């Protein structure tokens, strides 16, 4: 049944996927349109070369999410590889209309200079949960390899809340307790956006309409934090990178309680804001949260043919 439904959706979507389809007012700009804005067609994929032979390239891989899943850690670890060039900032090209309307040329301009053999990667965690993004990414490059890092959905909700709480505290602004978001009329408030972001199956379905599962590698964010090396090796294999990152690139910092990175003698721990303590949550509420995600998680496991060690 699910396969039938997916097939029907694909049929419906097919016309808008054909690049030669006439542009309907208010519809997505066609690939040609986006490329025209980028300047020279086709070869817009590679920017002008600098004197030293490096150039900007559109990403061959994107870390699409999830927010608070460990995307920064993943990007930093991947950057240990000499054949990877990472965009420093979150670009928000495919999810922000203001950026997307500037075209691929603008996107290219956000990318780091890299050697021809290097892979360019950008990360914008909001891509995963933005319904318009999968089609847009597909339009740029249907063969792109996508990285998705996920962690326990309940933990992710708490972490999501904590991030916004700290942002408010920094600006000396008040922010309601997590209970005020999670509970409405004595029940779990399913309208809380952070809950929806953890409904991984719903978002994953959007991506699978445009990309086969083999193009999306899921990194286990909980494992990446506990034991980064095996997870990062899987990423190397998925991206067909030569195995270069090794166990001595990671060392455990007992004070912090998690791993730091060692890169040609240069030590680097993630920013203080990573790995922040979560708020104390009433155990009853916590089990309600676990219960809420039980079915969605099962659906997600079926969708990706793999299980995760989540509550
Ligand atoms: C090459 O030139 C670009 C653009 O000027 C610069 O950003 C990049 O750091 C340079 N790369 C190397 C390896 O010197
Ligand atoms: C969650 O978000 C997705 C994608 O934006 C949307 O399709 C879905 O209706 C939302 N679900 C709930 C329960 O709010
Ligand atoms: C691990 O990588 C570093 C640099 O990336 C290298 O100097 C070192 O020899 C490697 N160690 C092993 C055991 O391969
Ligand atoms: C370990 O973490 C602590 C606390 O953040 C930090 O002050 C220290 O420099 C770190 N040590 C190493 C060797 O990274």
pLDDT at 216 > cutoff 60? yes
pLDDT of res. 21? 36
pLDDT at 7 > cutoff 90? no
pLDDT at 12 > cutoff 60? no
What is the position in ligand 3's atom list of the atom closest to the CA of 80?
A: 5
**pLDDT tens digits, 129-180:** 999 999 999 999 999 999 999 999 999 999 999 999 999 999 999 999 999 9
- E strand residue ranges, 98-144: 113-114, 119-123
pLDDT of res. 210? 98
> Given ligand 2 and candidates 132, 160, 199, 292, which is best to mutate, with the most ligand atoms within 8 Å of its CB?
199
DSSP string for 228-253: HHHHHHHHHHHTT--S---GGGEEEE
pLDDT band of 16, cuts 50, 70, 90? very low
pLDDT band of 273, cuts 50, 70, 90? low
Report the SS3 class of residue 23: coil
**pLDDT tens digits, 181-205:** 999 999 999 999 999 999 999 999 9
**What is the C-alpha separation between 53 and 300, in angstroms, rounded?**
44
> Given ligand 3 and candidates 77, 78, 228, 246, which is best to mutate, with the most ligand atoms within 8 Å of its CB?
246
Name the superfamily (CATH) of residues 53-157+197-275: P-loop containing nucleotide triphosphate hydrolases (3.40.50.300)
**Ligand 3 and 248: CB distance under 6 A:** yes
DSSP string for 147-196: EEEE--HHHHHHHHHHHHHHHHHHTT-----HHHHHEETTEE-TT-HHHH
**Entry pTM:** 0.85
Arithmetic mean of pLDDT over the chain: 86
pLDDT at 5 > cutoff 90? no
288 annotated as ligand-binding: no
pLDDT band of 274, cuts 50, 70, 90? low
> What strands lie across the sheet with 61-65, from one edge to the other?
84-86, 119-123, 61-65, 145-150, 216-220
Decide: 296 and 153 in contact? Cβ < 8 Å.
yes
């Amino acid at each position: 049944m699910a396969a039938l439904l997916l097939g029907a959706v694909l049929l419906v979507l097919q016309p808008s996927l054909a690049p030669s389809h006439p542009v309907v007012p208010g519809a997505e700009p066609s690939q040609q349109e986006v490329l025209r804005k980028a300047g020279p067609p086709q070869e817009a994929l590679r920017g002008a070369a600098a004197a030293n032979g490096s150039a900007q390239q559109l990403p061959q891989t994107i870390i699409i999410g999830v927010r608070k899943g460990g995307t920064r850690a993943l990007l930093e670890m991947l950057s240990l590889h000499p054949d990877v060039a990472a965009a420093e900032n979150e670009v928000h090209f495919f999810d922000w209309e203001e950026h997307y309307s500037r075209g691929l040329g603008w996107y290219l301009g956000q990318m780091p200079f890299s050697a021809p053999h290097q892979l360019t990667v950008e990360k914008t965690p909001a891509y995963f949960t933005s319904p318009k993004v999968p089609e847009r990414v597909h339009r740029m490059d249907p063969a792109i390899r996508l990285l998705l890092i996920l962690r326990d959905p309940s933990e992710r909700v708490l972490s999501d809340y904590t991030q916004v709480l700290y942002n408010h505290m920094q600006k000396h602004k008040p922010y309601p307790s997590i209970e005020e978001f999670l509970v409405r009329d004595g029940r779990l408030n399913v309208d809380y956006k952070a809950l929806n972001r953890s409904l991984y199956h719903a978002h994953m379905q959007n991506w699978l309409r445009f990309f086969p599962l083999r193009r999306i590698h899921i990194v286990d964010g909980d494992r990446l934090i506990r034991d980064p090396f095996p997870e990062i090796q899987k990423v190397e294999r998925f991206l067909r990178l030569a195995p270069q990152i090794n166990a001595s690139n990671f060392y455990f910092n007992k004070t912090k309680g998690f791993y730091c990175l060692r890169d040609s003698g240069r030590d680097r721990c993630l920013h203080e804001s990573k790995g922040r303590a979560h708020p104390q949550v009433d155990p009853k509420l916590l089990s309600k949260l676990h219960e809420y995600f039980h079915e969605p998680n099962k659906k997600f496991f079926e969708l990706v043919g793999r299980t995760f060690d989540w509550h």
